Every structure is written in C-alpha cells, then in structure tokens.
A and B are shown apart, each in its own frame.
Chain A
Amino acid sequence: MATLAPTVKAPTRPRGTVRPLSRWAAVALLFLGALLTVAPFYFMFVFATHTRAEIFQIPPPTWFGEAAGRNYDSLLERLPFWRNLWNSLYLALMSTVTTLFFCSLAGFAFAMYNFRFREGLFGVVLATLLIPSALNIVPFALIMQALGWINTPRALWVPGMASAFGIFLMRQYIGSAIPKELVEAARIDGASEFGIYRKIILPLCGPALATLGLVTFVNSWNSFVGPLIIFRTAETYTAPLALRSLQGIANTDWGALMCGVALTVLPLLIVFVFFSRQLIEGLTSGSLKG
C-alpha cells in the first residue's frame, strides 16, 4: 500500500546500539512524560463522578466517586445536552461527507489530468493554506449575518466543503496509488469522466478517504471559534459551546460540567484508540509537504 506522507514507520536504526543506561533513562523519562500527558484525561473522568464539593476539597479526589448519575441529571437539567451532541454530530457528518466528495473529485482532477494552468491552480489551492484564519473572523460573521445563516449549521459546513488540505491529501494519494493506465483503459471502454471517478477512482481511494474523513470529523467536532460566532441559542449550540456556556462565574456545577466534558471527549477517544495511526498521519501530512 502506498503511504500518504513520511510518517511514523519502523525506526531505521538497528537495535542494541544505544547503551543500556541511557536507554533506561530514556524509557523512564518517556513514560513519565506520557503519564503527565494522560493525567488530565484521567482527572476528567474521575471528576465526572464527583460532586462539586468533592472536586474542590483537600486533597482533590484521585479515584472514581459515586456522583456520576447526579452529575448527569444536573447536566440535562441545565442544557439540552443530547441535542447539543447531535448538533456536533450533524455538523461533523455533513462536513465529512461533503469534504470527502469535493476533495476527492478535485484531487482526482489534479492528479490524473493534464490541463492548462494545472500547476498554477494547484499553487493557489496550497497558498490559501497560508492565510491566517484570524483575518477572516469579522467578515465571516458579517457575511453569515447578511446571508441569514446565523444559528444554522450550513454556515459552517458549506464554506468548508472543499478544503485545500483535503485536495492536497487526495491528490497525493491518487497520484501515487492509482496508475494512469487504469483511467486510460476505462476511457477506452467508453466510461464518462465522472463515471471514471465514480467507478474507478472512488473505490480505490479507501485509505485516503478514511484518513481525510477522520481528520475532518475530529476537526469539526472540536471546532470552537466558528460555532461561537454562528450559534447563539442553547438549542443550536454544539457540545463544546454548550460546555462553555455552563462555565459561569461563581455557581458553576463542576460535576455536571465534567460529566459533559467526558461525554464530549469520550467518542473521540474511542475513535482515536482504533485509528490513531491513520489520524496522526492525516493531520500531520499537510504540514510536512504543504
């Protein structure tokens, strides 16, 4: 199988050439670091099972408590949280499906056709990656206001349907994994150009589509600034926005908040456990070659 980009492969260095002592020091340090990295996740789930009073006591709780149900009830009292999770899911699915379609189509065109201005147009696609997103916040808000798309999810997934990163990723994959002869052969057999995409390219793009799909889904699920600008009522909030709205000044119910945090993060962690390699490859490949 062709790889998408230089990523985590087996180390190129023969084993046993590092001295034992430094090796053990390195291992110890690595695991200490990993522990520090994972600790906040651990506390997220521990806190989700404690009441507010228990979270803020001395010493802080380090093991699971019994207030998970109470926190859950309290969360649902304050927020339409399942509705918020559904909003996140809907937004993520719409972005993912449309991105996969338009990016694979454009990636196919850039990888398999010779046409005038091909390199120049692809250069434009890549150059758009360099525009700082901060520049876009104010006009984005104003445009969506003008279109009347405030409080509607399409304000977020429509502009993102064909992402530069996705086109780049799909072009890389199609160019390296699918032989041009296949396309020629299909053409000789009388297939239309879209038919070639539909019947030849798409079925062979599985791995790249999976990677791009994961990346798009995760980014959309976690997005904050866009939803912050677009969604203004509790019913339309995505999960991160809903959590943020719970974070009041003095009377935050931290148990409920933690329960919501855990519910928001858990689905992604489960996905990550199964697809970590593919996700890491996908997320980093754009920055390496782009």
Chain B
Amino acid sequence: MQAPLPTSARPRLTPRARWDNFQRRYAPYIFISPFFILFAIFGLFPIVFSLYLAFHSWQPAAGLGDMKLVGWRNFTDNLTDPTFWQSLRNTIVIGLESGIPQHLIAIPLAFAIHMGLRRMQGILTALYFAPYITSVVAITVIFFTLFSWQYGVVNAVLTSLHNLPVIGGLFPEEKINWLGNRNFVQPAVATVVVWRYVGWNVVLYLSGLQSIPKDLYEAASVDGATTWQQFRFITLPLLRPIMFVAVTLTLIGNLQLFEEPYILTGDSGGIGNMGLTTVMYMYRTYNFYGDAGLAAAMSWLLFIVIGVLTLVNNRIFGRSGLARAD
C-alpha cells in the first residue's frame, strides 16, 4: 500500500485513503483535546468565575440568586482588614525565614555532594530528598511532637547542648515554648518548611553543578586555586541560572504556604495568629465565614503580590540568569 500523500493522491481517492487522510490530519488535535477540555472546565472557567466573584457579595449557602454586585468593596474590605495584613506579613516573614536558609544550606550541600562523594552521591541525595515525598500532614504531626514544650525532642537536644562546655552558651538555657510563644511560632513553621525542601533544592543545584564544564575546575586547580576559590569564582557565578529557577520556585511556593502552618497551628493560626498565612486566611474566610466573594478577592490580592514579587526577583536576580539559561 502507498503512503497516503495528500497532494499526489488527490485525483482518485478510495474511501480508505480518504479516511486515512482525515485521521492523519485530525488525530493530533483529538489526542491533545482532553487537556484543553479539562483545562477549560477546571482551570480557565474557575479563574474567570473567581474574578467575577471577587466583585460580588455571595454567601454560597444562600444559592446563586443571592449574588450581588458590590464593585471594589471586597477588595477595600480586605485592604482595610488588619488580619489580612497580618496574614500577608506572616506569609512573607515565614517565607523569608524558610526561603533564605533553604538555599544557604542547599548550595554548599550540593557542592559538597558533587565534589566529594561519587559513590555515596545516590544514597545521600535520596536521604536528603526523602522529606519531600512524604505527606505534609505526617511530617507536621511528627514535628508537632518534636516541638513540644516540656517533653519535646528539640528542647531536649537544646538542653543537652546547653550543658556542653565551651559552646554551651550558644544554646538557650530555658526550654522554648515553640508553638505557644508568639515569637517562636514562625521559626517553628519555617523549620519544617526548610527540612522539607532542602533536599529538593539540593537536587536542583546538583543538576546545575553537573552542567559546569570540568575543565574549568581543572584549569583552576592547575593554577593553584583552593576549593573555596573554585567555589567562589567558578561554581557560584555559573550556578546563577539554576539559582534563579530555584529561588523563583521557592518564592512562589512560599507565598502560597498552607499545609505546614495549617497543621502545626491546628488550623487556628496559632497564638496571636502568628502562623496564619494568607492562603489559610482565605480558606478560613471561605470555609468558616462563608464569604466566597471576599475570599476570591483575597486570592486575587495574593496573586498580585506573587506577580509583583516575582517581577522584582526577575529584575534583581534573573537578568543575567535568564539570558544565560537559554
């Protein structure tokens, strides 16, 4: 049988050949259509709906007829709500407290794994990565007990470190009420986030390190560069593109933090609402106060914050990184 070439075969087409042409032509569209249909229903429509909702007052329990146009009121209500601002502040503080250490730990860690240990690389990476694949609920429940005030492992370890000679002074003498003291709720949440995502970033940075040509290191060590100098003048600059990717992912993820604080603080936001993130507050607004319009407006405000901060990050961090990435 001949290859069905549309142009040369046109004069006398058998039904079979016509069917072949038809399915060849439309098969790709049919094959990709499920994604677009599903996205239209469960992705695009909800977002448009949520924008519509943001300008309406609506208690879903009262049915669709109860929807009233209120203009910008949902936005102004949010913007004049001190708890909204607190949740945004909490989100950003926890985001910084977890985001910065994550990368400060992951970069040297990836460098050490990359440079030092060929045979152990697989297993070490897997160990560091394990927290990422476990359920946040499970993880947070564990940390909840580890952070327990009187009987927790964290305080037990800190106490025994305090009793060490010389370096003992670095560690607190009193037990810390991690989840019951407003100053420590955020660091506790941040610790869980750091623990969970360090391995993820290590893997990202490892793949970045593997793309750096080894001749650079060889040349440097021929010239007598120390490991530190190699790290400082070869690794760090060439890691910039991947750093940009990793930081952007952290930024977007951290601004939508929900599960860790939700479970650590037992969904209340913790003492003084210090663990209440914006997504948590949005969920509370919808679920407990039953105000869908207000919650939708809040999600758009958060979206704007995410957009602006991503752009800022792009500006100060991404320029050369983006240019070099592709």
Contact = CB atoms under 8 A, between A and B. Distances in A.
Interface residues of B, number: 107
A166 to B, nearest CB: 9
Contact of A243 (B42, B141, B156, B211): B141
Candidate in B120, B122, B131, B203 with the most chain A CB atoms within 10 angstroms: B203
Contacts of B42: 140, 143, 158-159
Interface in A7-35: 7-15, 17-19, 22-23, 26-27, 29-30, 33-34
A247 B266 contact: yes
B149 to A, nearest CB: 10
Nearest to A262: B138
A55 interface: yes
B34 A102 contact: yes
Interface in A215-251: 218, 221-222, 224-225, 239-241, 243-244, 247, 249
B133 A279 contact: yes
A139 B47 contact: yes
Given A247-B266, A269-B134, A138 B199 contact: no
Contacts of B27: 109, 113, 193-194
Given A44-B138, A138-B50, A162 B125 contact: no
B227 A162 contact: no
B55 interface: no
Interface string B107-136: 001001111111011101111111111111
A38 interface: yes
A63 to B, nearest CB: 13
A182 interface: no
Given A8-B203, A12-B210, A33 B128 contact: yes
Given A135-B300, A138-B295, A142-B60, A265 B32 contact: no
Interface string B261-303: 0010010000000000011001100100000100110011011
B34 A284 contact: no
B129 A9 contact: no
A189 B263 CA distance: 58
B161 interface: no
A199 interface: no
Given A13-B115, A33-B109, A131-B43, A224 B136 contact: yes
A222 B121 contact: no
Interface of A is mostly: helix
Contact of B217 (A10, A13, A110): A13
Contacts of B130: 37-38, 41, 269, 272
A135 B2 CA distance: 52
B96 interface: no
Contacts of B35: 102, 106, 125, 162, 164, 167
Contacts of A176: none
B150 interface: yes
A60 interface: yes
B208 to A, nearest CB: 8
B204 interface: yes
Contact of A140 (B34, B46, B204): B46
Interface in A32-91: 33-34, 36-38, 40-41, 43-44, 47, 55-60
Contact of A192 (B23, B120, B211): B23
A193 B23 contact: yes
Interface of A: 5-15, 17-19, 22-23, 26-27, 29-30, 33-34, 36-38, 40-41, 43-44, 47, 55-60, 102, 105-106, 108-110, 113, 115, 118, 121, 124-125, 128, 131-143, 145, 158-159, 161-162, 164, 167, 184, 187-190, 192-194, 197, 218, 221-222, 224-225, 239-241, 243-244, 247, 249, 254, 257-258, 261, 264-265, 268-269, 272, 276-277, 279-280, 283-284, 287-288
21 contacts: A7-B203, A8-B122, A8-B125, A17-B218, A27-B117, A37-B127, A37-B128, A108-B31, A115-B25, A132-B302, A132-B303, A132-B306, A137-B299, A138-B282, A142-B49, A159-B43, A164-B35, A187-B24, A276-B129, A283-B132, A284-B200
Given A40-B143, A106-B32, A133-B256, 4 more contacts: A135-B302, A139-B296, A187-B3, A243-B137
Lowest 7 A-B CB distances belong to which pairs?
Answer: A139-B46, A193-B27, A159-B42, A109-B31, A162-B35, A113-B28, A240-B137
